[in-house]
Structure formats: C-alpha cells, structure tokens
Structure 1
Amino acid sequence: MLPLRHTLTSLLAGLFLLPSMAAVAAGKCDRLVVTGSPDAPPYMWRDPQDPAHLMGANADLLKEAAGQMGIKLEFLFAGKRSQALEEVRTGRMDLLADTPLKSSELESLDFIHPPIAQNEIMVWTRAGRPQPFNSLADLQGHPGAISEKTRVTSAFENAIKDHLTLEKQPNLTQAFQKLMLGQVEFVLAGRYAGMALTQTLGMSRDLLAQPLPLDRPGLYLALSFNSACNDPWLRGQLAKKMTELAASGRSNEAVTRNLELWKAQLQQPTSATHQ
C-alpha cells in the first residue's frame, strides 16, 4: 500500500494536470477538413482559380462561424458529389457543407440543424405561356426536364417519379436549351442557379420562373461519425452558429454575393459549358 503522503502528492499532481489535459482535449480539433458538391452554385462549387479547393456561399458562412469558434477550415475538392460523401463517411474528411437530409445517411453522419441554406426549386417555362404551372398537379401530362445536378427533397423526388414525365439532362444549360427549342414545356431548377444561367446565356427575357417554389430542400452541415472532431461541443457550437446565421439575414447576403461571382465566372467561355 502506498504511503498516505505519496497518495496525496499524486492526487494533487493529477489535479494540476487536469486543466492542461482539458485544453488538449478542447484543442484537438482546431482544424476541420471540409468538402461538398463541386457543382452546386451559388452554394458550393469548384474554384476555377484553385481547382483543389471549393468556394461558395456555404463556404463563406461556415468560415464566418468557424472563425468565431477559433477553428480553421480547409475546403477541399474530393471529386463528384458521391465521392465527397464517401470521403466524409469514412472520416478521411470531417464535414460536408451542403448535403440534403437523407434518412439513409443518418447511420454515418450527424446533421446539424438548422440547415446552413435552403434552395428553392422553381418551375421554369417559356415567357408568355398561357397556362400556369403552379403545382405538381399542373405539370402532370406535360414533358419536362431537370438537370442531374439538381437536388430535391426525398418526398419531392418520389413525387416526381410517380407523377411527372421528366428528362434528365447532364446539366442545366442543356435542360434550358431543350426548353428554348420547345422540346419540353418546363424545367425544374433552383431559383438562383436558373436566374444566373438565363442571364448569362441571354435567355432572361425568354425563360421565366413561375411565382411559387415547388420544393425547398435544405442544405445541411454533416459531421462524420468517424471524424476525430465530432464531439458534443463542436456539434452544439455549429448548431448555435447556424441558428444565428438563419436569424441574421447574412445567409441571403452570402448567396447574393456568390451569385454575382458565379455569374462573372460563367461569362468566361471556359466555364460556361460546365453548368
């Protein structure tokens, strides 16, 4: 048995060590590796000036939040959307910055509420169309198109499969071209992506969004279960910051700013074909 004095000395030494050990624990994640979709502007897309990294409204908002938390971020391109998801699932990267909430991912990802942004899926038609397309029922029996890159909620995706006739196009440019040629009667596309692209392609007077969005998919932050950074403090702080951002209006400012930036990039011939 150890002498009482030795035991007390050990206990005191342990108590003095506790603050430094806590500091190590709290500081174990002063840096997060973040990824996301390379093709979801104005929320997230690949930086044409630095293709190894991602940029966009979600990146700006998350950087603001992380700066207040004392955490450094690196937004890395991980490949197409499915590859980015796999990198985070495995823990090779810590965080997805723009993922829709899907029940199939709840076993590998912690989704942070509220979403960092919300997209609005609009019905785009040719100008002067006499019949309004304001609901899913209005679209039934009419041929339409959607880009493979357009993300919708799971419920809306099921409704599309059950009730609509949609051609999937590789990108939004080709979907809008089919609409201009009269090969389809409508296109389902995000409000901001559609707005930027019609303006850039000179179609803003010919193609218009109907007044009411049909779907509002949230874009969430999602932490990997396998990330060493995934702890209650980080999840709680991120949720707090997302709540503050939603109430502040800064999300809309970031979207507007990045929309203009993306439009400027689209006007460059090398980038316009990729949307």
Structure 2
Amino acid sequence: MGTPGSARARRLWRLVVAGLMAASMVTTMSARADPACKQLVATGNPEYPPFLWRDPANETRLIGANASLMQLLSKEIGVPIEVRYAGSWARVQEEARLGRVDLVAGAFFTTDRLDYMDYVYPPLRETSSVVWERQGATQKYQQWADLKGRAGVTVINNSFGEEFDRFARANLKIATVPSLEQALKMLQLGRVDYLIYEEDPANAYIAQLGIGGLVAASPPVSNERLYLTLSHKSSCNTPEMRAALAKALYKFGRQNVMKKLVDAGIQLWRTQ
C-alpha cells in the first residue's frame, strides 16, 4: 500500500500530465503521423529517474517524465504509444536494433547508434554526466586526464558523448556493470575509484539507497542532449512519422513541457 505522500505525488503527476494534455488540445494539431501506423511501442532505460523507471504498481510499464511525454506525444500525433519495460539499458538498445520496439524515449547521440536508429530533432533535454568519487578521495578530478591510471565503472552500453567516449576508449580503464545500483555500491565499497553517470539519475538512486560519502566532481565530463529515437526496423518509421514527431517535440519545447514533467517526476520518485 502506498504512503499518503506517494498518493499526493501521484495525484500531482496526473494533474500535471492532464493539464499539459488539455493545453495541447486547445490548439489545432500541427503534427499528423502516417495514418498507416496504428500503434507505437516505446521503451527506455529503466534505471533513469526522474526520466524513466519501472512502475511499482505494474512492473511491465515505465513511468517518469519521458513516459509522460510519450502520452502527450501520442495525443499530438494521433497514434497510441505504449511505454513498455523491455529490460536493462543494454537490452533496450538491442530491442531497438532488432525492431521489437519502435521508440527509445531518451538516448544520447553516438554514430554507432545511427546504424539502427534515427534521431528525432529537436532533443528532449540537455543533461550533465559527472564523475562520482568518494568524499575525501586523495586524487581529485578536475579534467579528463586526471582519470588516467584509475579504476572506473559505469553501466553497460552507456555513452557520454562522442568526444569523451573516444578519449575513454584510448586512455581509461572503465569497467561496465548491468545496473547503476551495482556501480554505486562498488564505488562506496572502494572496489573502483570513480563512477561516471548522469547527475540527476545518480542523485536519485543515492537518495533511495541511502548511500553516503559520494560526491559529484566538477566540471561535468560532458553536457549531452537527450533524444527520442526511432528504430530503422520499425514499420512506422516513415517520413510522415518522423516529421510528425519532430513538429510535436518542437511545439513542446516552446511550451517548456519537459521541465514541468521532470519537476513532477522528481516529486513522484522521492515519495517512492
């Protein structure tokens, strides 16, 4: 059974989404998708609060800011969008590669991903990826070169932008693990010297797990744009669909929709 705070946060979440949907319906729909596409299946990183995480009430679904954005997008383009849990972040990318899902609701740009996904512009949001260290670490991070010779960790198939990814492949020793929780505990226990991950999702997990003594170093490793992507193998990947999605995202960007959804997502995650 949920707590009173959780119930309030869910009510707030529903009110925010309902209000944004109502505002969206006031104007004439400028984006129309290919009428041959009857439904889209979206998924994403399930360890990504406040953007995405598994719904405690139904773990086959994802909730969060990006999931709510898919609801608004569905209304705008006139095509139902189901936001489904598809496994780990590595698995999500494989599902997109195989065409088993249509949309990935939140991915950084890499040239490798262009082999199996189209990026929809404009981006959803800009996020910061940072180096997490133990408080009082003798070696302090200030620039990429400071990570050389130290043991790092991140989550499998994560990207932090083309430039840093190239630097890391050539110069750094970074292990990969299936989950952010595992990576945070490895850092806490001193099994690695640093973790690279996005600031907001890592902060959310640190608070949930009650982990102390970890700090985000400055400056960020990268500031990257987060995109909606469409699988090459999706039967709905047509010029009409790509145009409809892009027009809707442009409209939402002008209305500052994503900020409102992220703020509501943060409140909901904290109560859970």
In the superposition, the TM-score normalised over structure 1's length comes to 0.73
1:225 aligns with 2:226: no
1:61 aligns with 2:54: no
Equivalent-residue separation in structure 2 for 1:145 and 1:90 (angstroms): 27
Tell me which moved more, 127-136 or 234-243. Answer: 127-136
Q: Which residue of 1 aligns with 2:41?
A: 33
Equivalent-residue separation in structure 2 for 1:151 and 1:199 (angstroms): 23
Higher alpha-carbon Rg: 1
Deviation at 1:121, TM superposition (A): 1.0
Equivalent-residue separation in structure 1 for 2:217 and 2:255 (angstroms): 28
Segments of structure 1 that go 5 or more residues without pairing to the other structure are 1-24, 266-275
Q: Which residue of 1 aligns with 2:13?
A: none
Q: Which residue of 2 aligns with 1:261?
A: 268
Q: Which residue of 1 aligns with 2:246?
A: 239
Q: Which residue of 2 aligns with 1:210?
A: 217
Segments of structure 2 that go 5 or more residues without pairing to the other structure are 1-32
Equivalent-residue separation in structure 2 for 1:249 and 1:127 (angstroms): 36
Residues 69-218 of structure 1 correspond to what in structure 2 (within 5 A)? 69-129=77-137, 132-148=140-156, 150-204=158-212, 206-218=213-225
Secondary structure of 2:58's partner? coil
Aligned partner letter, 1:104: D
Deviation at 1:30, TM superposition (A): 4.7
Secondary structure of 2:223's partner? coil
Q: 1:139 to 1:79 in 2, by over 3 A?
A: closer
Higher RCO structure, 1 or 2 (CA under 8 Å, sep 6+) = 2
Deviation at 1:88, TM superposition (A): 3.7
CA root-mean-square deviation:
2.8
Residues 5-24 of structure 1 correspond to what in structure 2 (within 5 A)? none
Q: In 2, are the aligned partners of 1:100 and 1:153 still within 8 Å (CA)?
A: yes
Q: In 2, are the aligned partners of 1:116 and 1:221 still within 8 Å (CA)?
A: yes
Secondary structure of 2:142's partner? coil
Q: In 2, are the aligned partners of 1:109 and 1:225 still within 8 Å (CA)?
A: yes
Aligned partner letter, 1:38: P
